[in-house]
Structure 1
């Protein structure tokens, strides 16, 4: 069968144990977007000049691609950095030259899942040399604009449960040809939204990475483990100068709140119960509690569901995994980011110690 490459896993995640249902759990930090700033015009000009030189040079280990962004993007220019090997994924995207003055001077989009800790450190060191030793300083000043936390539940499918997210009503369901079904709960513009989608672990077969270049890859499902990815996308909409003071500095990544706290999981038996009691006439395609509530509200012609319905829904909530126990592994995931985090945190500690001595 041919399967969309997005549903095939080529990267490694941390094994964090089993849940109460004897399903293996894995976790990692996926995409990490950070923004940093320059202290003065001279610093900004020098950095932009160095970035411009990078796009005109040929490097031994990395390939640099220049992109001129369209008008919808907050930055005019971007560099994509990959390893030299053919079909290598993007390791880092650097956006710079912002359109608005209030936008941070540079944005870094890391893809840490494609590299080992040693490879991340090599890339950071290489960049610091290219940019004239300011790169580490930019990491120290940086704040997080998006981080994706991927939690994988093996031997689990999307339709095995019903899914919910506290204080989120928007739902989008995906079921395309040659792909595994997926679900998004929450708005893409909100502080947090979660994606649920099936994947096939094909890490054991390296031929799939280099021999297939099309959007779809021929794969035998019987030869690979399948799992459900629960991907929490956290987007703190705050900067260090924001009045609410809710910015998440890169150096404080370990202090990030558990993005799975608001996740709710329900037994799929709830669907039959709601149908049997006449609360539902038809089932929505999406296995989403928010979507089911919308269907019932329309049928009952009410803005708020009766308490007996809410109690019935609450009675079918289950614990797929212990959220606290899972989040205790977050420090291991951050450690896999290696220098991306450690450089920022070390600089922050040194700066704090130096300030205390001055005082």
Structure 2
């Protein structure tokens, strides 16, 4: 396999999305929920103790339909993760992707006692309901209450535009000046807009559609890429990207923040899981511009305050003076307004949000919210470390006794 046929695993799509409308340029488009993280809290010590015991028992046996594995929570960025313990759940099939990640044991006060990270792209609405029912049967009625109390901490909505490339347009995000380009070896170009931890950010990057194939069809290799001067471990697939349909993913990342007075963990939640269907339009802040804008901006910089003389000193004075009177800024604003395009009808796209919600199933779609009383808010969400210590062998005990002799 040639080197140019190695492609970063993140740029290959195996899970199908729902078709929606076409873009105003005639591109086929698809929409889905790519990530859903929720957090909930326990309302009594008894409830917490019983629920955690049942959680810990899940990986102790084999199940017919699911595989449950212990997995310590870690952040990809290397920062401290808010939870101590975790369980990864996948279907009992070869090379099955993770469906849900259950976490508990918060490290800091104000953090909810239980969290779930869902990956709905790997499930239909019916399969999501089956998973939630399976968990409810094994974790007890507390699980249903935890869902009703849950609030959303992260939601990724993926809009796929087929036949469109990142370089076809220039991109922006209203009320944000932060951006980062991605162009790693053996990957497709990408652009991040907005701060990573802000309420709304966007990741725009190329992918290829391999949904007609299974992951195991393509051999996988581990390797490293350079990011911010550091080596980062990635995984690559032996796949010819020219043999598969290409699309541009516009991924809106929503991270609702709690609002109102009070200390951390006690403020009003910005988005309850039960209110997810009422989510406000996230695509409104996305800006798209014609590619020719780049040349017009360069030309505007070059011709701004251009001196009408053959003397080089006049050019030196212009460079020192910079944007005199804000003329360049005004010219830029006019060019931006003139070159902004409507790649797709944002309201038309958002009218398909109920279809995305249907992929979360009836259990989540029919939730009724539960709110804590003052007494319930005072319940600690911390859990004790119940992991059993390994018993010392006779040899280890004998060695300790020998070392302790004078």
Residue 53 of structure 2 corresponds to which residue in structure 1? Answer: 49
Task: Say if 2:293 and 2:336, in contact at 8 Å, map to a contact too.
Answer: yes
Aligned-residue Cα RMSD (Å) equals 2.5
Residue of structure 1 in register with 2:187 after alignment: 179
Residue 166 of structure 2 is aligned with which of 158, 162, 168? Answer: 158
Other-structure match for 1:31: 35
The residue that corresponds to 1:227 in the other structure is 247
1:2 Cα deviation from its structure 2 partner: 1.6
Q: Structure 1, residues 77-98: CA drift from partner, whole Å, max 9, x if none?
A: 1111111222211110011011
Which residue of 1 is the match for residue 219 of structure 2?
212
Deviation at 1:54, TM superposition (A): 0.9
Change in 2 beyond 3 A, CA 1:301/1:18: same
1:168 equivalent to 2:168? Answer no
TM-score, structure 2 normalization: 0.76
Counterpart of 1:355 in structure 2 is: none
Whole-angstrom CA distance in 1 between matches of 2:68 and 2:56: 11
Q: State the partner residue of 1:323.
A: 346
Structure 1 residues 160, 139: CA separation in 2 closer, same or farther (over 3 Å shift)?
Answer: same
Compute the displacement of 1:181 (Å): 0.4
Conserved? CA contact 1:139–1:343, under 8 Å: no
- Secondary structure (helix, strand or coil) at the match of 1:187 reads coil
Q: Could you say which residue in structure 2 is the equivalent of 1:254?
A: 277
The answer on whether the counterparts of 1:63 and 1:83 sit within 8 Å (CA) in structure 2 is yes
Equivalent position of 1:86 in the other structure? 94
Give the CA deviation at 1:245. 4.2
The answer (yes or no) to whether the contact 1:170–1:186 under 8 Å persists in 2 is yes
Larger Cα Rg: Structure 1 or Structure 2?
Answer: 2
Rounded Cα–Cα distance in structure 1 between residues aligned with 2:354 and 2:302: 44
SS of residue paired to 1:277: helix
**Aligned with residue 132 of structure 2, among 124, 134, 139:** 124
Distance between the aligned counterparts of 2:176 and 2:243, measured in 1? 37
Residue 66 of structure 2: aligned partner: 62
The reply to whether residue 306 of structure 1 matches residue 329 of structure 2 is yes
Q: 1:191-202 alignment to 2 at 5 Å? A: 191-202=199-210
TM-score (norm 1): 0.86
Q: CA deviation at 1:274?
A: 1.5
Conserved? CA contact 2:218–2:239, under 8 Å: no
What is the rounded CA distance, in whole Å, between the counterparts of 1:89 and 1:51 in structure 2? 21
- From 135, 143, 146, the equivalent of 2:151 is 143
State the Cα distance separating 1:240 from its structure 2 match: 9.6
- The change in CA–CA distance for 1:302 and 1:142 in structure 2 (over 3 A counts) is farther
Q: Does 1:100 align with 2:108?
A: yes
Confirm or deny: 8 A CA contact 2:35 2:156 kept in the other structure.
yes
Pick which of 104-113 and 309-318 moved more. Answer: 309-318
Structure 2 residues not aligned, in runs of 5+: 222-234, 305-319, 371-406
Q: Is the 2:300–2:332 contact (alpha carbons within 8 Å) kept by the matching residues of 1?
A: no
Q: 1:62, CA displacement in angstroms? A: 1.2
Cα distance per residue 1:250-293 (max 9 Å; x no partner): 11111111111100000010011122233599xxxxxxxxxxxx
Unmatched tracts of structure 1, length 5 or more = 282-297, 350-359
